[in-house]
């Protein structure tokens, strides 16, 4: 699953009790939170937090999210969230995958993000500047 994905960031996570449904598995919408949390942590790790972006008039917004659910997670289960970053035209494309501790795929996602600067859609050049060294070359 991850042979065609180049990851630049990863973080361990754990399923919390309020994230599971009555069947004892993670609700499908919660995986979107895991992916978003990973993107926010990556941005901060790379040197530009969402708070700082917003204070500079830069707001990354979701354009499209494609998620393939591969294997459910359960209460207390530990997993790892991995992220790669590329561009498609003006969009930033986050290639994000979740894996169980033993490497089984849980979720495979592509998240497209547009950049709004001072209320206008842009090519996100300040973000290219900030995250350029992490962008995968195509």
Candidates 4, 17, 21, 102; catalytic one: 21
How far apart are the C-alpha atoms of 98 and 103, rounded to whole Å? Answer: 9
Measuring CA to CA, how many Å separate 82 from each of 8, 50, 54, 87, 129?
8, 19, 24, 17, 22
Q: Is 21 a catalytic residue?
A: yes
**For the chain, first and last CA: distance in Å?**
19
Mention every residue, 6+ apart, whose C-beta is less than 8 A from residue 137.
none
Contacts of 61 (CB under 8 A, 6+ apart): 113, 114, 115, 116
Residues assigned a catalytic role: 21
């Amino acid at each position: 699953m991850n042979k065609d994905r180049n990851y630049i960031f990863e973080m361990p996570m754990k399923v919390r009790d309020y994230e599971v449904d009555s069947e004892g598995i993670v609700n499908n919408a919660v995986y979107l939170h895991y992916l978003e949390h990973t993107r926010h942590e990556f941005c901060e790790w790379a040197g530009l937090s969402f708070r700082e972006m917003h204070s500079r008039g830069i707001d990354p917004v979701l354009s499209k999210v494609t998620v393939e659910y591969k294997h459910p997670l359960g209460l207390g289960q530990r997993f790892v969230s991995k992220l790669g970053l590329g561009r498609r035209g003006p969009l930033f494309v986050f290639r994000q995958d979740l894996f169980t501790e033993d490497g089984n795929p849980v979720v495979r996602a592509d998240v497209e993000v547009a950049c709004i600067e001072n209320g206008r859609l842009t090519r996100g050049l300040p973000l290219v500047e900030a995250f350029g060294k992490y962008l995968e070359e195509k």
